[in-house]
C-alpha cells in the first residue's frame, strides 16, 4: 500500500507552475513537506471547502492547472462539490483524494469510504468522467502525467495506509498564504503577459 507522503511528493515533482490547494488535515502537511511554494494555498479550517476553492482558482486562471490535494474525510464533507464540478467541467482542475479510510486528525475513526462508499463511482456518476483509483506504485506512475495533462476535471483516489506522517512547519496564517499566492499569480501575469 502506498504511503501518503511518498505519493504526494511524487505527484508534486511534476507540478511546474501549477497551483495547489490543500484540504484541512494531514494533506497540508504532506504538501508542505515537499517544500513550501508561493502557489500553495493551505486550508486549515472547514471540512469540505478545498475542491470549491480550487475550482474558483481554476475558473479565474483557465490556462493554469489547479490541483487539489486533500483527504477522503474532507471530500465527503463537501460531497456536493463533486456534482457542481461535474456540471461545470473545468478542464484545468485535478482533484487528488488521499484515501486512508480514517479521520487521521481526530483519532482514526472510520470514514464512510471504510464502509465501501465509492468516491470514484460518485465522481464518475457526477460527470467527472476522468476519475481513477490508484492502488499501488505502478498505478501511481501510470497516472502521474494524467494529473497535469488529462483534460479535466480529473479525479484520482489514491489508496494510502492510515499511517500518519510527522507534522512539518506550514504557514498557518491565511492572510499571509492567500496574499502570497495571489501576488505570485499576478507577478507571473506581469512577467509573461
Partner 1 sequence: MVESVSWSDKVFSVLCEAEVKQVAYVPDAGHQRLIKLCIDYNEIKHVPLTSEQEGIALLGGAWLGGERGALLMQSSGVGNVINMLSVPNECRFPLLMIVTMRGEWAEFNPWQIPMGQAVETTLKAMGVIVLRAAEECLISETVSSASKLAFEGGRMVAVLISQRALGQKDWNK
Identify which range of 27-35, 104-112, 131-139, 184-192 contacts partner 1 by CB under 8 A.
184-192
Residue 59 is a binding residue for partner 1 (CB under 8 A): yes
CA distances from 134 to 2, 40, 43, 70, 154 (A): 9, 23, 24, 15, 13
Residue selected from 61, 114, 148, 164 as contacting partner 1 according to rule CB under 8 A = 61
The most distant pair of C-alpha atoms in the chain lies apart, rounded to whole Å, by 49
Nearest Cα neighbor of 118 from 101, 130, 103, 104 is 101
Q: Are 143 and 163 in contact (CB under 8 A)?
A: no
Q: Report helix, strand or coil for 114.
A: helix
Residue selected from 35, 166, 169, 175 as contacting partner 1 according to rule CB under 8 A = 175
Identify which range of 44-52, 107-115, 127-135, 146-154 contacts partner 1 by CB under 8 A.
44-52
Residues that bind partner 1 (CB under 8 A): 19, 21, 41, 43, 45-46, 48-61, 78, 80-81, 83-84, 87-88, 174-175, 177-178, 181-182, 185-186, 189
Amino acid at each position: 500500500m502506498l504511503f501518503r507522503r511518498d505519493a504526494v511528493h511524487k505527484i508534486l515533482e511534476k507540478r511546474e507552475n501549477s497551483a495547489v490547494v490543500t484540504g484541512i488535515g494531514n494533506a497540508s502537511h504532506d504538501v508542505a513537506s515537499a517544500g513550501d511554494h508561493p502557489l500553495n494555498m493551505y486550508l486549515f479550517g472547514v471540512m469540505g471547502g478545498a475542491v470549491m476553492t480550487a475550482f474558483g482558482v481554476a475558473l479565474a486562471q483557465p490556462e493554469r492547472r489547479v490541483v487539489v490535494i486533500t483527504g477522503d474525510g474532507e471530500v465527503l464533507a463537501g460531497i456536493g462539490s463533486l456534482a457542481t464540478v461535474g456540471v461545470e467541467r473545468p478542464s484545468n482542475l485535478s482533484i487528488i483524494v488521499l484515501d486512508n479510510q480514517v479521520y487521521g486528525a481526530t483519532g482514526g475513526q472510520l470514514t464512510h469510504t471504510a464502509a465501501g462508499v465509492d468516491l470514484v463511482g460518485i465522481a464518475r456518476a457526477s460527470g467527472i468522467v476522468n476519475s481513477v483509483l490508484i492502488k499501488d506504485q505502478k498505478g501511481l506512475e501510470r497516472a502521474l502525467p494524467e494529473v497535469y495533462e488529462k483534460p479535466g476535471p480529473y479525479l484520482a483516489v489514491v489508496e494510502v495506509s492510515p499511517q500518519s506522517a510527522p507534522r512539518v512547519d506550514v504557514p498557518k496564517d491565511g492572510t499571509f498564504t492567500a496574499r502570497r499566492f495571489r501576488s505570485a499569480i499576478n507577478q507571473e501575469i506581469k512577467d509573461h503577459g
